[in-house]
Amino acid sequence: MDGTGGNDIWGWFDAQTGQEYALMGLQNGTAFVDITDPEDPVFLGRLPTQTTSSIWRDIKVHQDHAYIVADAAGAHGMQVFDLTQLRGVSGPQAWQPDTVYGDFQNAHNLAINEDTGFAYAVGTNTCSGGLHMIDIRDPVNPLFAGCHVVTPDTHDAQCVVYQGPDANFAGREICVNSNENHVEIADVTNKADPVQLSATAYPQLGFVHQAWLTEDQRFLFVGDELDEANFGVPTRTHVFDVSDLASPQYLYPYEAATTTIDHNLYVLGNRVFQANYSAGLRVLEFGDLANQEISEVAFFDTVPQSGAGAFDGAWSVYPYLSSGNIIVSDGINGLFVLTLQP
C-alpha cells in the first residue's frame, strides 16, 4: 500500500454501487482498498499525509466523505476526501484532499456523530486537548463549532444521540470521552456551552485509552492501554453500568486468557470486536453484563511473531460493513479481511 507502517482503519460502503472499501491509516498517508471481493483486495492508491509522517492517524466517514487527522508535526489539520471518487477506479491513483480544515494543527484522534453531522477532534493543539467540535453537515465546508476543555487530554471519544435508560438526557448529544486518567461523560448538545456530567476512575487504572457503548447505551466497555504492564494483570476490558449518566458505576474487569495490550474496541450487537496488538483480533460475546455473562468466542492473530506486551500488531478493527466482513489493521503486517464463522 506504499506505506511505511500501519495504524487506524475505517470502512465505507458505497450505497450506489454496493462496493466496500477499507480506509487504512499509514504513517505516510491513507490507503484506499476495494475489498468488495474479500479474497482479491484491490489497492486504489494513497492520500499522502498533509505534512510529515506520524505513527498516529485516524479516519472516520460521514456522507460519503473521509475525514482524516494525524498527530503529525506542522499544520496537518483535517483532510476531507470525497470517497465517490473511488467509483470505477481499478488501480492505484495519486489522490489529494478536496479540502483541509485548518483550525487545529495536529490531532490524535477523531470521532464523528453521523446522526448530527458533527466531528470531534481530540488531543489537538487547541481546546486544551479536549473536544474540538466541527460542524460537517456541509461535508466539504467544515466549520468550527466550539471547545470542550478538559484536563488531561481527551484521547478518544464516542458521541451519540442519547436513547439510553437515563430519561434526563433523552435526545441529547452525549460524548463518552477517554481522558487518560478518567472516563468522562459530557452533554455537548449546546456546542457553545458543553457540560460535564461525570468523571469516573476505577481500580488499577493505567491509561484510559478508548471506550464504546453497548447498543442499548446502558453499559460501557473501556480499554486501558497500560494496566497490564503497570499492574501485572491479564488483558482487561473494564465494564461500567452507565444507566445513570451523572453517576456511572464500575462493575468489573473482564480478564482474557492473554496478557497482551488491548487497543481499540467496537460493539456490534452482542459482540465486542477488539484489536489487541500482539494478540490480534479478539471477539467477545456478552449476555447479561450485570451478571458477568461475557466470554471470548473467536480470535485471529495478525502478528504471531510478536509476543505479549509489545505495541506491535492489531491496531484497530472495523466490524460494520454491510457484508459482515471484518477488517483489521496491523501496524506490521498490513490489512486483513476476515469473516466470522458461526
Query: What pLDDT is stored for residue 307 in this prediction?
Result: 76
Sequence spans of domains, the chain: 6-335
- How many Å separate Cα 325 from the centre of its chain? 17
- 119 three-state secondary structure: strand
Fold that domain 6-335 belongs to in CATH: Methylamine Dehydrogenase; Chain H (2.130.10)
- 167 three-state secondary structure: helix
Contact 119, 133 (CB under 8 A): yes
Contact 245, 257 (CB under 8 A): no
- 85 three-state secondary structure: helix
| Cell, residue 200 | 469516573
Residues 299, 332: Cα–Cα separation, whole Å: 18
Query: What pLDDT is stored for residue 138 in this prediction?
Result: 98
DSSP secondary structure of 147-164:
EE--SS---EEEEEE--S
Buried-state track 263-294, b at ≥16 Cβ within 10 A, e below 16: bbbbbeeebbbbbbbbbbbbbbebeebeeeeb
- 111 three-state secondary structure: strand
Which residue, 3, 24, 2, 11, is CA-closest to 314?
Answer: 24
Contact 17, 43 (CB under 8 A): no
pTM over 0.95: yes
15 burial type by CB count under 10 A (0-12 exposed, 13-18 middle, 19+ buried): exposed
215: DSSP letter: T
Please give the angle made by the CA atoms of 314, 224 and 110, to the nearest 5 degrees.
Answer: 65
Strand partners, 271: 268, 285
29-34: strand order across its sheet: 6-13, 20-26, 29-34, 42-48, 93-94
Residues 340, 342: Cα–Cα separation, whole Å: 7
What does each of the 342 residues of the chain score in pLDDT, given as a tens digit?
A: 999 899 999 999 999 999 999 999 999 999 999 999 999 999 999 999 999 999 999 999 999 999 999 999 999 999 999 999 999 999 999 999 999 999 999 999 999 999 999 999 999 999 999 999 999 999 999 999 999 999 999 999 999 999 999 999 999 999 999 999 999 999 999 999 999 999 999 999 999 999 999 999 999 999 999 999 999 999 999 999 999 999 999 999 999 999 999 999 999 999 999 999 999 999 999 999 999 999 999 999 999 987 778 899 999 999 999 999 999 999 999 999 999 987
Residues 30, 23: Cα–Cα separation, whole Å: 7
Query: What pLDDT is stored for residue 278 in this prediction?
Result: 95
Q: Is the dihedral of CA 241, 152, 224, 227 positive or negative?
A: negative
Which amino acid, residue 58?
D
Residues 38, 336: Cα–Cα separation, whole Å: 9
Query: What pLDDT is stored for residue 88 in this prediction?
Result: 95
